Structure 1
Amino acid sequence: MTERASSHGAGGRTRGDLGRRIAQRRTELGLSRQETATRAGMAPAYLQYLEERPTADPGAGTLLRLAGALRTTVWHLTGGDTELPPGLGRAARTPRFTELTEAECRSLLATHGVGRLAVPADTGPLVVPVNYQVAEGAIVYRTEPGTTPAQADGHQVAFEVDRIDEAFSEGWSVLVRGPAGAVTDPDEAARLDEQAFTTPWAGGPRDLWLRIEPVTVTGRRITV
């Protein structure tokens, strides 16, 4: 296991990104480190090294085996698609399109993450990404007064979250529609603060909680 002095490895990735991407993809697929190592034909200790050592810089053959084991591409593992929008790959030859049940939609929503909020405005709808979570069946997120997400207060809005597997042209999306309102009860806001999974990526003092009460919840999935 050799380490190179360069700050970038295969595909121009920054050191440390590869391990994070491997671990994230394993989590998406529900694979343990042992299972992934077996699929890739390597020792679990070496996979641990790749995931945890920021300076790890494996060769092309190792990256190809890992990409195959994780059902993705070397391009994705090495961060080549970081600045590109999803969906640039070709459609699968035999895609299967299915509607998700409400229970399936709510289960996917509960994984938390980043969603897209559509807010009405005088000049037309605005769509912005927000960090969100699910609390008692509602979508909640933090922002600050005067921002676009804060304009949702008192309006009917739409909220969308999705996951896309670029390597296999698969994915799903869930759409929630319903009224949004600011959380004005200090106790409820404090409880949401305590239960928060992450802080807003935008940073800064974002202490205004908003809640979207789902009226309709629909979703779809594309598989091969």
Structure 2
Amino acid sequence: MTERASSHAVEGRPAGDLGRRITQRRTELGLTRQETATQAGMAPAYLQYLEERPTADPGAGTLLRLAGALKTTVWHLTGGDTELPPGLGRASRTPRFTELTEAECRSLLSTHGVGRLAVPTDSGPVVLPVNYSVVDGAIVFRTDLGTTPAEAAGHQVAFEVDRIDESFSEGWSVLVRGPARAVTDPDEVARLAEQAYSTPWAGGRRELWLRVEPVAVTGRRITV
């Protein structure tokens, strides 16, 4: 086991909104707790306290140093932008736009659990968020009969995921296009239930599985 893997293995479960945001952000950057604490000028034990104690209430100076180490803003760390749509920040002066390879797109797809499904309906196309997993290279998700996502079965659909970093006006998006079908084979349903890692946030039984077979996979990235 590497030193980095060992560091992640012994870390506790984040608790509280601040702790979850700190942990999520340093995970996105590939930073261990030790590395983050060093860059923020604090003891690793104190960073552990911030991540794992819901009642932690650090001062403004601590939050500023932590936001700097995590390349984000205090506003984001403290949840000030929770109810705002992404992309309100200004564009950078020197943005770089690149096309992603199919391999890069598929790798990014496998790291996410929420995407947007574009479904053709009788009244026109509708875009809905769904909790999804990637199994055998296909997009799979659970819904229920009579719902709008269920109308995707038997149609060509589009599916999109993205990630936006407000602090640096950077981000990427991946678009998948292909046919959607309802999964009816009991063995395949059982296998999806076992392998899928994302469950519907909306709750409920939602026993209808849909599968989107990627025919075209494209993506783009904006960096500074």
| TM beyond 0.5 | yes
Which residue identity lines up with residue 204 of structure 2 in the other structure?
Answer: G
- By how many angstroms is 1:198 displaced? 2.6
**Size of the alignment, in residue pairs?**
210
What's the counterpart of residue 131 of structure 1? Answer: 131
**Residue deviations 1:111-152 (CA, integer Å, cap 9, x gap):** 131000000011110000000011111100011111111110
User: Does residue 106 of structure 1 match 2:106?
Assistant: yes
- For residues 109 and 63 of structure 1, what CA distance do their matches in structure 2 show? 31
What's the counterpart of residue 5 of structure 2? Answer: none
Q: TM-score when scaled to structure 1?
A: 0.92
What's the counterpart of residue 203 of structure 2? Answer: 203
- For residues 108 and 169 of structure 1, what CA distance do their matches in structure 2 show? 18
**In structure 2, the residue corresponding to 1:125 is in which secondary structure?**
strand
**Residue deviations 1:6-56 (CA, integer Å, cap 9, x gap):** xxxxxxxxx921011000101111111001001101000000000000000
- By how many angstroms is 1:164 displaced? 0.5
- For residues 124 and 39 of structure 1, what CA distance do their matches in structure 2 show? 51
- For residues 163 and 214 of structure 1, what CA distance do their matches in structure 2 show? 20
**Residue deviations 1:71-123 (CA, integer Å, cap 9, x gap):** 10000000000000000000011000000011110110011310000000111
- By how many angstroms is 1:197 displaced? 1.1
Which residue identity lines up with residue 147 of structure 1 in the other structure?
Answer: T
- By how many angstroms is 1:196 displaced? 2.1
Task: Give the fraction of aligned pairs with identical amino acids, expressed as a percent.
Answer: 86
What's the counterpart of residue 121 of structure 1? Answer: 121
Given that residues 132 and 199 in structure 2 are in contact (C-alpha distance below 8 angstroms), is that contact kept between their aligned partners in structure 1?
A: no
- For residues 42 and 188 of structure 2, what CA distance do their matches in structure 1 show? 49
Given that residues 135 and 196 in structure 2 are in contact (C-alpha distance below 8 angstroms), is that contact kept between their aligned partners in structure 1?
A: no
**In structure 2, the residue corresponding to 1:161 is in which secondary structure?**
strand
Q: TM-score when scaled to structure 2?
A: 0.92
What's the counterpart of residue 75 of structure 1? Answer: 75
- For residues 93 and 213 of structure 2, what CA distance do their matches in structure 1 show? 38
**In structure 1, the residue corresponding to 2:94 is in which secondary structure?**
coil
**In structure 2, the residue corresponding to 1:20 is in which secondary structure?**
helix
RMSD after superposition: 0.9
Note the residue ranges of structure 2 that are not aligned, 5 or more in a row. 1-14
What's the counterpart of residue 221 of structure 1? Answer: 221
- For residues 213 and 46 of structure 1, what CA distance do their matches in structure 2 show? 46
Note the residue ranges of structure 1 that are not aligned, 5 or more in a row. 1-14
Which runs of 4 or more aligned residues in structure 1 lie more than 4 Å from their structure 2 counterparts after TM superposition? none
What's the counterpart of residue 16 of structure 2? Answer: 16
